[in-house]
Amino acid sequence: MSAPILQVSDLRVTFDVPVRGGWPWTPPRKLQAVGGISFDLRPGEVLGVVGESGSGKSTLARAIIGTVPSSGRVVFDGQDLGNLVPGARRSRRRDIQMIFQDPLAALNPRMTVGDIIAEPLVTHHPKTPRAEVRRRVAEIMDRVGLLPNLMNRYPHEFSGGQCQRIGIARALILRPKLLICDEPVSALDVSVQAQVVNLLRELRRELGIAMIFIAHDLSVVRHISDRVMVMYLGRLMETATAKAIVETPRHPYTQFLIASVPIPDPELERARPRPVLEGDLPSPLAPPSGCVFRTRCPKARERCAQEPPPAYDVGPAHRATCHYWDEPTPMLEAAE
């Protein structure tokens, strides 16, 4: 088995939030957006990250690439990114690229598509001849399903799905080793989502790129991922293979996410009971004591408020952060 290309250990991201209406000397409140996440990623592997809005998925991605301050260790290709000087860190960024959630907002409206895609290549390899730059741009546009003769057009002349393909081309022109996809299909129609996901699967298979695929839709994540991490309020709830997450989820939060995935058959979808996850996501400024999911969990007991659960080994390469992972979840049992 090959060595991990990315190793993340106890990654934490904390923001200082000013107290509204407080005195100038009032100390800010602490908001822990990511709390102690650890995982490995191997070359060519796709790791899915799921969770509802506010669970810390995007903050985790930005902490990995270094755009938000964090603690812990991020080791990429054998180098600790936190210990690199700015020049060395910039050179490593050639190998880590990112695709953003809003395809149109991520593109400069004053630049042509050809210049947008070429920008990373010109920035990191300024001595590349213009003819070679143009050749590489045309090559990668063709690869992501865009006609090369469109490179002189502007982003507003393209659809949302085409703009996302432009973003993918821009991320791939440097031939990175790691691609972080931050909810790349959430702003697209369902049919376009399938096209983009299939494109990413093909590129992963052909180029051998490792990917972190972030989304809130578990039905999308399971089609592209080898392994899946489930996050809630900045903490890791469960991690396993995509097959195990879908077929044998052990954490009650994961079970509710699975139960919320719609069935393609309209009649079956209308007829089946749909258990509802009660309550709202707690404020990250004042997370619950013990297990952060306990305020919405039907299994919650006194122990959950007093003792943060460790990550229990519940199966082969399968871990769940729940004291009572081996007990049935009442609401879900009733729905069945």
Which residues are bridge partners to 211 per DSSP? 46, 179
Angle made by CA atoms 189, 191, 192, in degrees to the nearest 5? 65
Query: What does the alpha-carbon distance between residue 55 and residue 34 come to, in Å, rounded to a whole number?
Result: 8
| pLDDT attached to residue 333 | 56
Give tens-digit pLDDT for 84-128.
Answer: 877 777 778 889 999 988 888 889 999 999 999 999 999 999 999
- Token digits of residue 259: 């139960």
Predicted confidence band of residue 9 (pLDDT cuts 50, 70, 90): very high
pLDDT over threshold 70, residue 79: yes
Predicted confidence band of residue 193 (pLDDT cuts 50, 70, 90): confident
Residue that wins the pLDDT comparison between 76 and 18: 76
Give tens-digit pLDDT for 276-294.
Answer: 777 788 888 889 999 999 9
Query: What does the alpha-carbon distance between residue 183 and residue 11 come to, in Å, rounded to a whole number?
Result: 20
pLDDT over threshold 80, residue 144: yes
Is 246 within 8 Å of 222 (Cβ atoms)? Answer: yes
Residues 6+ apart with CB under 8 A from 171: 97, 98, 99, 120, 179
Predicted confidence band of residue 336 (pLDDT cuts 50, 70, 90): low
Q: Where are the alpha helices (DSSP H) in 26-129?
A: 57-65, 86-92, 113-124
Is 225 within 8 Å of 48 (Cβ atoms)? Answer: yes
Residue that wins the pLDDT comparison between 180 and 189: 180
Three-state SS for 325? coil
Give tens-digit pLDDT for 240-275.
Answer: 999 999 999 999 999 988 888 777 767 776 777 777
Indicate if the alpha-carbon torsion angle 111, 112, 113, 118 is positive or negative.
negative
* Residue (of 115, 199, 189, 137) closest to 159 by Cα position: 189
| pLDDT attached to residue 310 | 94
Region 66-89: what's the mean pLDDT? Answer: 87
Query: What does the alpha-carbon distance between residue 205 and residue 244 come to, in Å, rounded to a whole number?
Result: 22
Query: What does the alpha-carbon distance between residue 60 and residue 66 come to, in Å, rounded to a whole number?
Result: 10
pLDDT over threshold 60, residue 335: no
pLDDT over threshold 70, residue 26: yes
Predicted confidence band of residue 184 (pLDDT cuts 50, 70, 90): confident
Q: What are phi and psi of 311, to 5 degrees?
A: -85, 105
| pLDDT attached to residue 328 | 86
Region 322-335: what's the mean pLDDT? Answer: 77
- Token digits of residue 147: 């006609």
Indicate if the alpha-carbon torsion angle 6, 204, 97, 60 is positive or negative.
negative
Q: Which domains does the chain carry?
A: 6-19+28-335 (3.40.50.300)
Give percent above pLDDT 90 in the chain.
57
| pLDDT attached to residue 180 | 95
pLDDT over threshold 80, residue 37: yes
pTM of the shown model: 0.90
Region 176-198: what's the mean pLDDT? Answer: 86
Is 82 within 8 Å of 105 (Cβ atoms)? Answer: no
In which element (H, E) is residue 315 found? strand 312-315
Predicted confidence band of residue 1 (pLDDT cuts 50, 70, 90): low
Residues in the chain: 336
Q: What is the mean pLDDT of the chain?
A: 88
| pLDDT attached to residue 179 | 94
